[in-house]
Amino acid sequence: MRSLAVILMILIAAAMFACTAPQEEDEAMADIDTRLAKYAQVEVSSDVPGLHDKQKAALAKLIEAARIMDELFWKQASADGLALREKLAASDSELDQKLLHFLRINKGRFDRQANDEPFISNEPKPAGATFWPEDLSVAELEAYITEFPDEKDALYGLLTLVRREYDRLVAIPYHKAYTEDLQKAAGLLREAAELVENETLKNYLNLRAEALVTDDYLASDMAWMDLEGNMLDIVIGAIEPYEDRLMNLKAAYESFVLVKDEEAGRALEAYIEAMDAMQKALPVEEQFKRNEIRLGSSVGVFTLVYGAGDGDAGIKTIAISLPNDEQVREQKGSRKIMLRNAIQAKFENTLLPISKRLLTPADYELVDGDIFFSNILLHEIAHSFGNDFVLDAEGNSTGTKGDVALKNLSTPLEECKADIGGLYSYGVLIERGIITEDKLPSVYATFLAGVFRSVRFGAASAHGTANAIQINWLLENGGIVFDGEGHYSIDPEKFAASIESLLTELLMTQMSGDFARAEELVTKYGVLPAELKYRLAEMKDIPVDIEFVWN
């Protein structure tokens, strides 16, 4: 049988001459229907109760600015995504419209739930997307930096594109590569600032507008940390490096437009107040623990009214921990943003159905929506654990950033650490009386259900790799047991011991900056067990994730 990529190439060519083969079209239609079924549609409205007229007008401006971030991400993610979108949108065939639908979900022709395999054409996705030259290898880049060390900072910069000019590599700042789009987005942020009455939000929006057109985000990140009393919020700009799978260095554009749920946020402040105690309880020697974690703003619970770019590509985000800038984190900490409606949608549409199939009946009965929410919050808190820089044996900083030392493996290990670090921190919450010890069985069952949910995202996802590591580690150490009939059960005592040992391994790998150690961990544990792969393959009727329909 021909691959779908080949079939689609034939169909696209045939469409030009109106001679599509019915059998091939049927195969392509069945395949795209299967891919679309992996997403449960969830409607999201920007008509949020409780906002006055000026806030509604400002919200509209923020959404318009976010849409520009979406277009920029399309440009960053692939060289041909926008052209394909335009061609498919002009077609009136049912197949092309479904392909367009799936193209929009993935923001390009690569299936983010299937290890970025192409579903149109057979050309693979370049590891560096459009951030780097398509034919550039890590070995060539590192050799170039060795020859021209003065160019390293620019080439490795978070906010530069790298291009070839004859025999040299050149760095192009984002604000020069995307000038027109960024100026439009900045103008919209300034217009929104004129409409809002909250002075801290007004200041942030103006500074963020300046950041977009200069690539200097520091002042606006600081101002974002100082937001107080605001109902509206927006995360916007080039932020996370997940799309760059060559070096994990280049930030992609994204945006989240938010409305605050103040009551829910106040109820979770006790978790933030326990952060220092969580850090001190980490299972590593004292010299590898930070003396203090700056708390920053209290945790915020928000309704997501619009997502764009990297924040809306494929697998959907349900929580945010920002800023990433170490200077801001050192001075002001970080903010934890919980997306209430996204969390609820994922729990109902994906976690509950998958856990009913994979957990024993007794463990399934323990799965709890409130604990799922807490697990996500603790995951975001745990991103602050450890250190941002590689440490020597005495715990002194070497000056090398951990994500640089661990290269492309830094992101899956960081996501794994956040999962496991958050789970380990329930011990501190129990000591402080925030939760009771009898909740631990529900904590473990809900956590494992969450692992099964996100491991379906695929190996190309940092979260998918992270969760494969956790499953294999727990199986090897007896924390979870496969019964041979398709279900997993939990051994609470061994589960707790497994979590502690894995967290120690993750923290020490990160803080040592040992790439070989990281590679060994990912190679050994980062692939799903065969029996779980088989069980997951049977569950095509259960959505893997959600697709937001913005209204």
Residue with tokens 């060795």: 146
Q: How far apart are CA 72 and CA 66, in angstroms?
A: 10
pLDDT given at position 291? 56
262 Cβ partners below 8 Å, 6+ apart?
none
Report whether 107 contacts 313 (CB < 8 A): yes
- H helices within 254-406, ranges in order? 262-266, 269-273, 275-280, 326-332, 340-346, 352-358, 361-364, 369-382, 402-405
- Which pTM does this prediction carry? 0.77
pLDDT given at position 456? 80
Per-residue model confidence as pLDDT tens digits over 348-376: 999 999 999 999 999 999 999 999 999 98
Which segments in the chain show pLDDT lower than 50? 1-4, 6-7, 10, 13-20, 295
Report DSSP letters for 152-218, one per residue.
HHHHT-TTEEEEEETTEEEEEEHHHHTHHHHHHHHHHHHHHHHH---HHHHHHHHHHHHHHHHS--H
pLDDT given at position 2? 44
Distance of CA 320 to the CA centre of its chain: 8
Q: What are phi and psi of 395, to 5 degrees?
A: 90, 15
Report DSSP letters for 233-250, one per residue.
EEEEEEEE-TT-TTTS--
435 Cβ partners below 8 Å, 6+ apart?
374, 426, 429, 443
Q: How far apart are CA 238 and CA 217, in angstroms?
A: 9
Q: How far apart are CA 69 and CA 29, in angstroms?
A: 31
Q: How far apart are CA 411 and CA 247, in angstroms?
A: 11
Instruction: Report percent pLDDT > 90 for the chain.
Output: 70
Report whether 347 contacts 236 (CB < 8 A): no
Q: What are phi and psi of 78, to 5 degrees?
A: -160, 155
Q: Which helix (H) or strand (E) holds 122?
A: none
Virtual torsion, Cα 269, 271, 277, 282, nearest 10 deg: -150
Residue with tokens 């409780």: 50
Q: How far apart are CA 442 and CA 254, in angstroms?
A: 34
Let me know if 248 is exposed, middle or buried by CB neighbors in 10 A (0-12, 13-18, 19+): buried
Q: How far apart are CA 137 and CA 405, in angstroms?
A: 17
The DSSP secondary-structure symbol of 507 reads: H
pLDDT given at position 459? 59
First to last CA, the chain: 41
- Sign of the C-alpha dihedral computed for residues 134, 137, 141 and 143 taken in this order: negative
Q: How far apart are CA 58 and CA 188, in angstroms?
A: 9
pLDDT given at position 1? 38
Report whether 29 contacts 95 (CB < 8 A): yes
Beta bridge partners, 307, equal 256
- Sign of the C-alpha dihedral computed for residues 234, 81, 44 and 381 taken in this order: negative
- Report how far apart, in Å, the C-alpha atoms of 405 and of each of 210, 284, 389, 510, 521 are: 32, 20, 9, 9, 15
Q: What are phi and psi of 497, to 5 degrees?
A: -65, -40
Q: What are phi and psi of 123, to 5 degrees?
A: -75, 125
Q: How far apart are CA 319 and CA 327, in angstroms?
A: 22
Residue with tokens 């690539």: 215
Beta strand ranges found along 214-299 (DSSP E): 232-240, 252-260
Beta strand ranges found along 368-432 (DSSP E): 389-391, 397-401
pLDDT given at position 6? 47
Q: How far apart are CA 326 and CA 181, in angstroms?
A: 28
Residue with tokens 């509604």: 56
